[in-house]
Amino acid sequence: MFDFIQAILDGILFGTTYSLIGIGFTLVFGVMHKINMAYAAASIGAAYVGLVSASAMKAASAWAVFGCSLVAGGVLGFLVYLICFHLIPLRNENATLMSTVGMLLLADELISHATTGAPQNYPATLEDVMFRFGEMSIRGDLVVVFAVSVACTAALLLLLYRTRLGLATRAVAQQPIAAQLCGMRVAQVNALTFVITGVLGGIAGALICSAVGSLSILLTGPLTVKGLIVTVIGGLGSVPGAIVAGLLVGGLENAFQHFRGVTERDMYVMLLLFAFLIFRPGGIFARGQGRD
Amino acid sequence: MNKIALAVAAAFAASLTISGGALAQEKTVVIAPFGVKTGVLRLFGINSEAAVKSAVEEVNKSGGVKLADGSKAKMVAAEYLDDRCNAEEGIAVVRRMVGSDALIAVGPTCSNVAEPLYGILQKKVDDAKDTGLQFPILTDVAIKVGLAKISEWSFRNVPNELTMYSSLYYWLKTTRPELKTVYGGVEEDFAHSRASWHVVMKDRANANGYQVLGESKWLLNDTNFSTQVREIKKANPDILSIAAHPFTTCGLLKEMQRQGVKPKLVVGLTSTSSLETMQACPKQAEGMIIPSSFAPVNKEAKYAAEQTAKQKGAADLHSMAAWENVFIIKEAMERAGLSGRKDAASIQADRRKLRDALAATKTTKGLLGVNKRTEDREADKPYVFVHGKGGAWHVLHNPL
């Protein structure tokens, strides 16, 4: 029983990395009603640029790398917006989906070429710090990831509900034409949303690589899938939902692994996704909905 | 005017004769390297390509390949083709080679490509019922045990892990008698890693009198190893044998460091004795022991590593097998007596002669010594034990 509880605890803590990615996915969807499939890959790309930039500046500490990743994330976020959304006709629902899938593959290959596919050592935030409670223990760096997720959520909610930019963002999300008629620059608001999610992606990418201990293109695929699962389970557009869903997916993943083994684990996570799509399509915090 | 015209005509005729002569001298024999050059295993392709290119340069520097008529042909390495570690793409790549003037392929990187690929080559030569591709392949990297027996056209110059791990556990048993128990860590969804633990390491540890306490499993893409490390901690083994590639090996080692899990010894997978591991977790890989069929321990090995570095590749047990392959092929080509002609029938006849020459090869010259060839077209190569020390791999023991 102790092993099971510890496994769940480990999973929940690691789920914080899924939450961080899920927040970015859900924010873009909430504002533009579109999925940015390149989000996780761009986040890992930002983490890589951060690592290289910090090394070039001979500042190898985790916090210097995070600072550089944050800036790189904002720039990459803007580039993704420009290439995959701004230059693509938004009226076509599938065009941006396909363009971001293309960007995901491109980013993946760019990282592969830059790193020659080899994993890169990534500095840890709290190396080897473990909080022990009797027989139980939790990783210090994952507590940092959780705290950052909560702080990011709080900052995003403040931004969305307490600032003029947030008001404009919500207006554009709800009624883009009316917002435009009121003098708001829709493209500018959208671009800014991508820069903000990009900055968040930079933080997420750096924290995830730090938690994993290395940066590799092996991270982009699974993070994209987990990010999407978390976004659906948390409710498309719900930032707090993404946090809770990330923790839930992380915890259940380890529970499935505990009972059914590593080879069946992902199968059950996918079944969980389908269960949500059928029984709670609006996500964890949504009211029950009727189906067609 | 007539004199000028005559002079021009003579010069033209002379130029034709010279270029014709030059063309006659420019006979070529083509080898076709392939493997992974994209994705997470990209480094394998980069290193193998560099090794093949530099070895081909060496062959040509020493005069090229002697053909049946006594003339010399230049060895040409075709463009390195990327199979993306995908079986279907690997088969497509080799089908493309079959349609070219390539006489043999060098590759692939992945065992999950090699296995189905060998399956379509033709199981037994001269079997009229099985047309197959009838194209020889000399593999440098794909290492899963026992694959070459699939087809009489498939040959491998990869280390024999059964022998290497048997020797390693035996050596540990004699030099570290206090170590009694072994626990496995395996990347369950990767053909090589899986076979290396379940067929090789576990079996060899048992055979050498170790008590195998169990195993923890994870997947190639996994990032969270907390549960597996807790299992290792609970088992408390003397030796932890990790059958996984650098990304997850490093992930596991870092989690072990966090949880303070320190087995007395860590044994790694052959493929992990590479630059990748030292890039990703130099500190955590300190002391890890791995059997390897390459180390720059003599003049030839150092020279091969230097030449490969000039082509922007790194020398390791896989890329240096590709280097050796070029010389194995050269020697087999000269024994086979190739025609070097470029019509389809001659190309196919040369491929068959080359296959037969490779099948008849009993020993080849390797970088660490003599490589023996087995009846089932595998190699029995010399090896050393390396260990991580100061952010690099160093030779710990030479058992031969």
Q: CATH number for the B28-159+297-383 domain, one of 2.60.120.10, 3.30.2080.10, 1.10.287.70, 3.40.50.2300? A: 3.40.50.2300
Give the span between the Cα atoms of A46 and A31, in whole angstroms: 22
| pLDDT score at B22 | 45
Contact yes or no for A117 and B41 at CB 8 A:
yes
- Which residue segment(s) compose the domain that A80 sits in? 2-128+138-279
In angstroms, the separation between the Cα of residue B309 and the nearest Cα of chain A is: 15
In angstroms, the separation between the Cα of residue A168 and the nearest Cα of chain B is: 39
| pLDDT score at A287 | 61
Contact yes or no for A213 and B221 at CB 8 A:
no
CB burial of residue A161 (10 Å; 0-12, 13-18, 19+): exposed
What's the complex ipTM? Answer: 0.85
| pLDDT score at B21 | 44
CB burial of residue B12 (10 Å; 0-12, 13-18, 19+): exposed
The pTM of this model reads 0.84
User: Which strand (E) or helix (H) includes residue B394?
Assistant: strand B392-397
Q: What are phi and psi of A26, to 5 degrees?
A: -70, -30
Which residues, other chains included, contact A183 with Cβ-Cβ below 8 Å and sequence gap of 6+?
none
In angstroms, the separation between the Cα of residue A291 and the nearest Cα of chain B is: 36
Note down pLDDT in tens along chain B; length 400 residues: 455 555 555 555 554 444 444 444 589 999 999 999 988 889 999 999 999 999 999 999 999 999 999 999 999 999 999 999 999 999 999 999 999 999 999 999 999 999 999 999 999 999 999 989 999 999 999 988 889 999 999 999 999 999 999 999 999 999 999 999 999 999 999 888 999 999 999 999 999 999 999 999 999 989 999 999 999 999 999 999 999 999 999 999 999 998 899 999 999 999 899 888 998 999 999 999 999 999 998 999 999 999 999 999 999 999 999 999 999 999 999 999 999 999 999 999 999 999 999 999 999 999 999 999 999 999 999 999 999 999 999 999 998 7
The CA–CA distances, whole Å, from B324 to B73, B338, B366 equal 19, 20, 6
Per the CATH hierarchy, to which homologous superfamily does domain B168-292 belong?
Response regulator (3.40.50.2300)
| pLDDT score at B257 | 92
The CA–CA distances, whole Å, from B321 to B4, B140, B301, B304 equal 59, 5, 11, 11
Contact yes or no for A254 and B40 at CB 8 A:
no
| pLDDT score at B19 | 44
**In the beta sheet, which residues pair with residue B66?**
B72
Contacts of B281 in chain A (CB under 8 A): 121, 213-214
| pLDDT score at B145 | 84
| pLDDT score at B168 | 97
Q: Does A128 contact B at CB distance below 8 Å?
A: yes
| pLDDT score at A130 | 86
Using CA coordinates, name the residue in chain A closest to B312.
A116
Closest CA to A254 of A14, A1, A23, A2: A14
In three-state secondary structure terms, B372 is: strand
Contacts of A143 in chain B (CB under 8 A): none
Would you list the domain boundaries of chain B?
28-159+297-383, 168-292
Q: What are phi and psi of B153, to 5 degrees?
A: -100, -5
Pick from A52, A139, A212, A267 the residue to mutate for testing the B interface (most B CBs within 10 Å): A212
| pLDDT score at B1 | 47
Pick A102 or A169 by higher pLDDT: A102
User: pLDDT tens, A194-223?
Assistant: 999 999 999 999 999 998 989 999 999 999
pLDDT reading at A135 higher than 90: no
Contacts of B260 in chain A (CB under 8 A): 130
User: Which strand (E) or helix (H) includes residue A98?
Assistant: helix A93-115
Report DSSP letters for B207-250, one per residue. HTT-EEEEEEEE-TT----HHHHHHHHHH--SEEEEE--HHHHH
Q: Does A180 contact B at CB distance below 8 Å?
A: no
- CB-nearest to A120 from B38, B188, B280 is B280
Of the CA atoms within 13 Å of residue A209, those in its CB half-sphere come to 33
The CATH number covering residue A211 comes to: 1.10.3470
- CB-nearest to B247 from A3, A112, A214 is A214
Closest CA to B47 of B313, B308, B317: B313
Q: Are A11 and A250 in contact (CB under 8 A)?
A: yes
User: pLDDT tens, A46-83?
Assistant: 999 999 999 888 776 888 999 999 999 999 999 999 99
Give the span between the Cα atoms of B7 and B23, in whole angstroms: 24
Per-residue pLDDT band at A146 (split at 50, 70, 90): confident
| pLDDT score at A47 | 96
Which residues, other chains included, contact B383 with Cβ-Cβ below 8 Å and sequence gap of 6+?
B159, B163, B164, B167, B291, B292, B293, B368, B399, B400
In angstroms, the separation between the Cα of residue B130 and the nearest Cα of chain A is: 36
Nearest-10 crossing angle of helices A220-234, A39-56: 130
| pLDDT score at B18 | 45
Q: Could you check whether B28-159+297-383 and B168-292 share the same CATH topology?
A: yes
The number of folded domains in chain A is: 1
The CA–CA distances, whole Å, from A146 to A45, A149, A158, A173 equal 22, 5, 18, 28
Pick from A5, A20, A116 the residue to mutate for testing the B interface (most B CBs within 10 Å): A116
